[in-house]
Amino acid sequence: MKNTATLLITCPDTKGIVAAIADFLYQHDANILHADQHQDAENNLFLMRVEWDIANFNLDDAAFSNAFAPIAVKFNMQWQLKKSQQKARVAIMVSQYDHCLADLLHRHKSGELACEIPLVISNHRDTEALVKFYGIDFHYLPMTKETKSTVEAAEFKLFTQYNIDLIVLARYMQILSPDFVARYPQKIINIHHSFLPAFIGAKPYHRAFERGVKLIGATAHYVTEVLDEGPIIEQGIDRISHRDQVEDLIQKGRDLERVVLSKAVSWHIENRILLYANKTVIFD
């Protein structure tokens, strides 16, 4: 397992930012492994991700914050420091469809997803045996309109109990309340079975079939209060024809959903995403 630190930066675009960061890391014996940046001219923004080996790095987290403060102030930076050894703790929420859940659990078991998944929550029992097969705690929390607030309160307690950093909606067929979304900003990833912004809401494959589209897609995005309009992380498409029926669209779509969601989760836990203006920058 690699032992690295990652610095994510957002600030107004100006000269000297890259040089200042590189010199700072050099002065503290950092061995830079990856560095990537993006300039948004329209918004006058500079965004950067830099990752380094910390084997000989001579600053701990507290010392880093103090030492880096003058640079952050000079360039008016918003910044985050992440350590690869501090694995994200992920909760998965699912209803009855298990294809995305099964894919995430398999990738996690094989080491492809470098995170911890201590908890799965569902409003159905269909996936309980699958979750327990992987040795993960399963919590069955059925929900109705009348019990929504009570159930969400129970979910909040579980997220606190398990120290959850990221919530993944793996075809969780419930609309989260504004309070739920507000509690976990930029920490909820959803997979929508459509190439957004087309066919938002329920049954998008049926609507795509009725419209006679030639491409279907899937979209992984961060959840906001506005349904299916959060910042998009990843999308995938597949070509269809007049011979495909609704069932064919659903099957092809499920294959897309698995891959798109796993990529989005992977990029998040690897600290490769920065958000601005309802958009995402995905660093290599």
Lowest average pLDDT, out of 47-56, 180-189, 199-208, goes to: 199-208
What is the secondary structure of 167-234 as a DSSP string? EEESS--SPPPHHHHHHSTT-EEEEESS-TTSS-SS-HHHHHHHHT-SEEEEEEEE--SSTT-SPEEE
Lowest average pLDDT, out of 13-17, 81-85, 192-196, 266-270, goes to: 192-196
Catalytic, out of 98, 165, 228, 244: 228
- Which residues does 84 contact at the CB level (< 8 Å), separation at least 6? 1, 2, 3, 4, 5, 6, 114
pTM metric for this prediction: 0.90
Q: Please compute the mean of the pLDDT values over residues 189-207 and round it to a whole number.
A: 74
Q: Please compute the mean of the pLDDT values over residues 171-200 and round it to a whole number.
A: 87
Which structure tokens are listed for 272?
A: 């490769």
Which structure tokens are listed for 4?
A: 């690295």
Amino acid 167: pLDDT: 98
Tell me how far apart the alpha carbons of residues 177 and 179 are, in angstroms, rounded to a whole number: 5
Say yes or no to pLDDT of 1 above 70.
no
Q: Do you know the residue count of the chain?
A: 284
DSSP reduced 3-state for 125: coil
Tell me how far apart the alpha carbons of residues 241 and 232 are, in angstroms, rounded to a whole number: 26
Which structure tokens are listed for 21?
A: 């960061």
Say yes or no to pLDDT of 213 above 90.
no
The verdict on whether omega for the bond into residue 70 sits within 30 degrees of 0, i.e. cis, is: no
**Kind plus residue range of the DSSP H or E element containing 250:** helix 246-269
Strands 273-276 and 78-83: unpaired
Q: Is 179 a catalytic residue?
A: no
Q: Show the domains of the chain with their CATH numbers.
A: 4-83 (3.30.70.260), 89-282 (3.40.50.170)
Q: Are 12 and 76 in contact (CB under 8 A)?
A: yes
Q: How far apart are the first and last CA of the chain?
A: 19
Predicted confidence (pLDDT) per residue in 143-154, tens digit? 998 999 999 999
Say yes or no to pLDDT of 255 above 70.
yes
